[in-house]
Amino acid sequence: MTDTATQIVCPACDATNRVPEGRPAGEAKCGKCHAPLFSAEPLALTDQTFDKHISRNDIPVLVDFWAAWCGPCRMMAPEFAKATAQLEPEVRMAKLDTEAAQQVATRYNIMSIPTLVLFHQGKEVARQSGALPAGHIIQWVRETLRD
């Protein structure tokens, strides 16, 4: 008998959780802090939390690299939130403020914002720059993961 589980990093306390196969991830709670593992809202990442969420989640992670002063970023924010409600729990949806997390933004060579970067198993698999409506975000993620 194989013990197949999916690792999901808690958005509240950053603990890594094992969600057993067959258990709906959307209903799972953190074993450490008991917070829901998914809330249908984007997770705010920092320089300190970014690597853990990218490398320890077994599911893909879509990161919106943005900044508060960026008009297109502010326009896309509600669209990204709508996409989050549609894509979670199959994809962890996260945002990274490039002004507050300059180390990560520099490491990934973020030259324009907003930029969406899709990570899977700790590696970048796709990138898309520019503001997109929710439908296009969802379509792009699903097509990319299908390939």
For residue 66, what are the β-bridge partners?
A: 97
Using CA atoms, how far apart are residues 120 and 91, in angstroms rounded to an integer?
9
Phi first, then psi: give them for residue 103, nearest 5 degrees: -65, -45
For residue range 51-66, list pLDDT tens digits in order: 999 999 999 999 999 9
**pTM of the shown model:** 0.94
Residues tagged active-site: 70, 73
What single letter denotes the amino acid at residue 81?
A
Q: What is the mean pLDDT of the chain?
A: 95
3-class DSSP state of 118: strand
Q: What is the mean pLDDT of residues 2-28?
A: 90
